Amino acid sequence: MGVDIRVENLNAWYGNTHTLQDINLHIPSNQATALIGPSGCGKSTFVRCLNRMHETNPIARAEGTVLMGGLDIYKDASPVEIRRRVGMVFQRPNPFPTMSIYDNVASGLKLNGFRNKRMLDEVVERSLKQAALWEEVKDDLRKKSGASISGGQQQRLCIARALAVDPEVLLMDEPASALDPVSTAKIEDLIFQLKSQYTIVIVTHNMQQAARVAANTGFFLNGKLVEFDATTKIFTTPSDKRTEDYITGRFG
């Protein structure tokens, strides 16, 4: 099951650039939460702070509190543990090109020492079914590489790979921006299905997508969280003029 995320006074830097400034918000469990805002406003940096990927850059640092189900991810857990609990799907599909479809899904488990073939088979099948990909690839699991299937299938394969290690949170950084409309619709359908089991945070430039999939939406601008509220309120009666200006296309 998913967990709630409480962010308190989160700040992040790339070198001397203060990319996130005093972010405070509560992301509820087992819902999809969308993050919108113009390019360079801090959305991707924010989600990278949620699984401690931000600090993998040697000139990057973060300060503040991120509580995930009550666990302080910066004080009470290692980055490796957090990245197991928090799956990540990137803008462009990134399957391991030299691995089969099966080994792509099983890679995280094998990295954690799983060797039981029956268990691996079960997890691979379950994860591909959760990602709505099983029926399309079940006859080619070991024959085809992860890079040989279509772009939309590759992105669902990456989702299956993230789900295989049984995370509590799934972060999606513009997961459909490189996909065609049919594949985009499949990803959105998946978000609807998965939010009952996981807490989902999706970064998107597509405001219609945010309106379709997310219960709550946060609007970022210049490294600050301008507004966070129910998606219907954000898109119909936002509290901040800057949110309204962005949504109506006056900038961004």
Question: pLDDT tens-digit profile of 105-137?
Answer: 999 888 878 888 999 999 999 999 999 999 999
* Whole-number Å distance between alpha carbons of 38 and 52: 23
Look at residue 225 and tell me whether its pLDDT is greater than 70.
yes
Instruction: Kindly report the length of the chain.
Output: 252
205, 177 Cβ separation under 8 angstroms: yes
Task: Give yes or no for a contact between 23 and 17, defined as CB atoms under 8 angstroms apart.
Answer: no
In this prediction, residues 52-70 reach a mean pLDDT of 94
Taking alpha carbons only, the member of 200, 149, 195, 191 closest to residue 35 is 200
| Residue 252 confidence (pLDDT) above 70 | no
Please state the separation of Cα 2 from the chain's center in Å.
Answer: 13
Domain spans of the chain?
A: 5-247
10-33 per-position pLDDT tens digit = 999 999 999 999 999 999 999 999
Q: What CATH number labels 5-247?
A: 3.40.50.300
